[in-house]
Structure 1
């Protein structure tokens, strides 16, 4: 007699147990954790490079960098003067909660106010994997096109905020802002939208302030 095994369900259930353990641990240390998701080239690392000097004036920040290979992004973060831990997935298209549990042990969590996780570049796989974060942010660049909300609805439905990066390219790309706004807020009426040029620093302080305000309103230390 044959038996059907739902491997994806089992994997996600196991991940959820690790995620809840992470969340409990982070809350015990009064630590706000942010999961940053976006396609390769959306500008996630550049956004963090632009944010961190400003945020360091007010909060202690740590970063977990997720990539398939190399330490390029963690080296960029280290040059910002913050503690960074690199996770290489060796082919996996997302981070999972067990990886975060292991990486977070390299930090003194009680000395941090904010832990930012830069996920592997992907708008699909990371969507299903709770890492124990409190805030989920999607970084989307104007160069990717305004149809991404329609093509990848789940990631935008679950997000608390969208950073629309590379707005300095709007005159040169066919990104329809009206369509993007309509589709985004139809899908998730409570989502926050931050137009940003991470490379030029435009809009970065507004997004950083929102994170710090959210942290304060949620009762985290500071």
Structure 2
């Protein structure tokens, strides 16, 4: 049963990816545990960069429209997916949401997955890059506790670095643990609330948006 579910998900993920590539849409799957600051990071990115890059957002949560309302307040097209008892988004959900969003060519699609470091790692959505966000408040052992998520991600954003001096978390140890799981991870150290380190993340976004046809 699980094999069938994953196989069907992969088929639709491939269709999503083909659609994104055809329209030069750069799709990012943002994953994290609850409370990492994923939505705050997204808000800051959209606020600072929406005049340079056309963004579209899919918000995944088990319940409520809270996060979608926060994005809509920034005047960015957004659609909410409520998964109910489900702990992750699936590729058919993305397919349906994308049709409703009517995404224009040469844009960035931000998919904010359900807050969970386990289930979303198994489900490809057709994204170009998977971005795992981890905060300093979570400790430095998350990558070895939840290796599948870090192994399947391309980017690791370490958020809330402004709080590091007040915590026992060692950022270098966190990165070391993550690299043990995935030696190819690219890191960004940021404070989404303060704006620290965000410029490097924005530069990466702009660079990769231009490289979409090469994917």
Fold in common (TM above 0.5): yes
> Quick check: 1:122 aligned with 2:84?
no
Query: Structure 1: how far apart are the matches of 2:208 and 2:20?
Result: 16
* Aligned equivalent of 1:4: none
> Quick check: 1:155 aligned with 2:131?
no
Query: Structure 1: how far apart are the matches of 2:33 and 2:98?
Result: 24
User: How many Å apart are 1:203 and its aligned residue?
Assistant: 1.3
* Aligned equivalent of 2:48: 54
Query: Structure 1: how far apart are the matches of 2:4 and 2:144?
Result: 28
> Quick check: 1:33 aligned with 2:27?
yes
Task: Answer yes or no: is the 8 Å Cα contact 1:164–1:196 preserved in 2.
Answer: yes
> Quick check: 1:73 aligned with 2:67?
yes
Larger radius of gyration: 1
| Alignment equivalent of 1:99, drawn from 90, 93, 98 | 93
User: How many Å apart are 1:136 and its aligned residue?
Assistant: 0.4
TM-score normalized by structure 1?
0.93
Aligned residues: 214
Task: Answer yes or no: is the 8 Å Cα contact 2:133–2:156 preserved in 1.
Answer: yes
* Aligned equivalent of 1:214: 208
* Aligned equivalent of 2:127: 133
List alignment gaps of at least 5 residues for structure 2: none
User: What SS does the corresponding residue of 1:193 show, helix, strand or coil?
Assistant: strand
> Quick check: 1:194 aligned with 2:184?
no
- 1:117-175 Cα deviation digits (max 9, x unpaired): 00000000000000010010000011111000110111111111111001111011110
User: What SS does the corresponding residue of 1:20 show, helix, strand or coil?
Assistant: helix
The runs of 4+ residues in structure 1 deviating greater than 6 Å are none
> Quick check: 1:165 aligned with 2:159?
yes
List alignment gaps of at least 5 residues for structure 1: 1-6
User: How many Å apart are 1:111 and its aligned residue?
Assistant: 4.6
Task: Answer yes or no: is the 8 Å Cα contact 2:24–2:105 preserved in 1.
Answer: no
> Quick check: 1:23 aligned with 2:42?
no
TM-score normalized by structure 2?
0.96
User: What SS does the corresponding residue of 2:209 show, helix, strand or coil?
Assistant: helix
* Aligned equivalent of 1:3: none
- Structure 1 vs Structure 2 CA RMSD: 1.2
| Alignment equivalent of 1:10, drawn from 4, 8, 14 | 4
Query: Structure 2: how far apart are the matches of 1:60 and 1:141?
Result: 27
**1:177-188 superposed matches below 5 A:** 177-188=171-182
